[in-house]
């Protein structure tokens, strides 16, 4: 314990039950509304905001690349890192026309960081 503290104690006064080794993602998820999943969030978010261009069945993909398709939970998870970078970051660039509520961007980050 002493050794761990010498290596990495942050002087964090907030008690967590994860000890001193919690990663930023674990701390983020500890405060997040869970569970946030494909069924209770992801599917409807992707359908509303991304599928107009990123569905395999879209009639007007507006040049969204063919391999960037989010029809299913598995496909969405396969792109999780890029979805977070393009749609959950402060300077989000997807969807190109914007219009996603802050709360939904937050839940997107919760889903793809903490969810299953």
Binding site residues, ligand HEC, CB under 6 A: 49-50, 52-54, 62-65, 68, 79, 82-83, 86-87, 94-96
Distance, CA of 64 to CA of 61 (rounded, Å): 5
**Closer to ligand HEC by Cβ: residue 27 or 68:** 68
Cβ atoms within 10 Å, residue 80 = 14
In angstroms, give the least distance from the CB of 103 to ligand HEC.
14
In angstroms, give the least distance from the CB of 110 to ligand HEC.
15
The set of residues, in sequence order, having a beta carbon less than 8 Å from that of 116 and lying 6+ positions away, is 35, 37
């Amino acid at each position: 314990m002493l050794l761990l503290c010498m290596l990495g104690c942050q002087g964090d006064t907030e008690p967590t039950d994860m000890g001193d080794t919690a990663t930023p993602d674990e701390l983020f998820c500890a405060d997040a509304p869970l569970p946030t999943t494909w069924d209770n969030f992801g599917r409807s978010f992707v359908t509303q905001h991304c599928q107009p261009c990123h569905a395999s069945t879209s009639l007007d993909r507006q040049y969204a690349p063919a391999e960037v398709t989010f029809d299913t939970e598995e496909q969405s998870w396969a792109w999780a890192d890029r979805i977070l970078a393009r749609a959950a970051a402060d300077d989000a660039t997807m969807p190109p026309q914007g219009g996603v509520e802050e709360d939904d961007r937050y839940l997107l980050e919760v889903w793809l960081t903490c969810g299953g």
